[in-house]
């Protein structure tokens, strides 16, 4: 029987951790599957969709997460809510999913970080949108903090969440206004990402107030924010866990696979080592 084909599509798409992670997930599950990389620009989708239909499934990265939607037959509830798709399952129909939300939730669970009570989100970009929506859906008391130049985007995000999720408890402020908050701090800014690993979104006075810290940045695996949080005795985790867990959710969609948490924890560590070979 021919090996099933999977891939990640994007444009431009150079180095990506997806092949390494997904190949390991197939091995852990004892499933057969080849996983490749396909460069597809948004304007090429009408022509390339027939080739993509030959795949058993595929993942989608920037800039195609919205552009792929008109070519799909069905979206799951989260993909509809976010208006974004990062995973497609091919069969009798083309089904679109977004695995980032559940990947984030599973990575929190694996790190022993509760998603309840007070949650402060730094930033208002694409990944922040995911965290903000999930916090509102979980009934958290949410605060979105940004730089002055991002106030308009922040306010638009807060208004969007309030309009779509009944009872959403959302406050907003500037990064400079943080200081007495507590609970969970989630960094959704790129500050601390390689190669500028000495940058950080907030100071020690803010970090020390939080019992839990999560940084969506995954390169390096332990950002300066995560290191400082751990030094303060807080429970902290970096974004490599989310990157791996969202891939796990894709395999749950494709094959209904159930993974051992210890195996995924090891894969997170191995993925970080693999990443260091490239950067």
Q: So which residues are the catalytic ones?
A: 65
Burial class (CB in 10 A: 0-12, 13-18, 19+), 2: exposed
| DSSP element (H, E) containing 131 | helix 126-137
| Of 234, 218, 236, 228, residue with least CA distance to 272 | 218
Whole-angstrom Cα distance, residue 25 to residue 19? 10
CA separation (Å) from 192 to 54, 61, 67, 105, 125?
39, 22, 30, 22, 16
Cis peptide before 63 (omega within 30 of 0): yes
Q: Going edge to edge, which strands form the sheet with 184-187? A: 169-174, 141-146, 118-122, 184-187, 212-215, 235-238
CA distance 147 to 219: 22
Question: Which of 126, 21, 152 lies closest to 63, judged by CA?
Answer: 126
CA 133 centroid distance within chain: 13
Kindly report the backbone phi and psi dihedral angles of residue 209, in degrees, each rounded to the nearest multiple of 5, phi listed first: -80, -15
E-state strands within 190-233 = 212-215
């Amino acid at each position: 029987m021919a090996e099933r084909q999977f891939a990640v599509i994007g444009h431009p798409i150079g180095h990506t951790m997806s092949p390494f992670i997904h190949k390991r997930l197939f091995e852990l599950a004892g499933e057969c599957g080849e996983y490749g990389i396909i460069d597809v620009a948004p304007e090429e989708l009408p022509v390339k969709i027939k080739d993509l239909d030959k795949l058993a499934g595929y993942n989608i990265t920037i800039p195609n997460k919205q552009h792929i939607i008109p070519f799909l037959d069905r979206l799951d509830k989260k993909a509809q809510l976010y208006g974004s798709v990062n995973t497609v399952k091919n069969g009798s129909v083309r089904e679109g999913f977004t695995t980032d939300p559940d990947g984030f939730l599973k990575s929190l669970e694996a790190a022993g970080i509760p998603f309840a009570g007070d949650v402060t989100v730094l930033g208002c970009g694409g990944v922040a949108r995911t965290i903000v929506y999930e916090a509102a859906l979980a009934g958290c008391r949410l605060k979105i903090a940004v730089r002055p130049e991002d106030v308009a985007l922040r306010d638009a995000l807060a208004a969007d969440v309030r309009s779509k999720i009944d009872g959403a408890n959302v406050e907003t402020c500037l990064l400079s206004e943080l200081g007495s908050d507590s609970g969970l701090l989630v960094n959704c800014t790129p500050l601390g990402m390689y190669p500028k690993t000495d940058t950080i979104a907030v100071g020690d006075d803010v970090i020390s107030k939080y019992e839990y810290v999560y940084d969506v940045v995954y390169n390096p695996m332990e950002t300066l924010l995560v290191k400082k949080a751990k030094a303060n005795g807080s429970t902290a985790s970096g974004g490599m866990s989310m990157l791996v867990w969202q891939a796990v959710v894709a395999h749950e969609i494709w094959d209904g696979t159930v993974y051992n948490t210890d195996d995924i924890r090891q894969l997170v560590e191995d993925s970080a080592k693999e990443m260091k070979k490239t950067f």
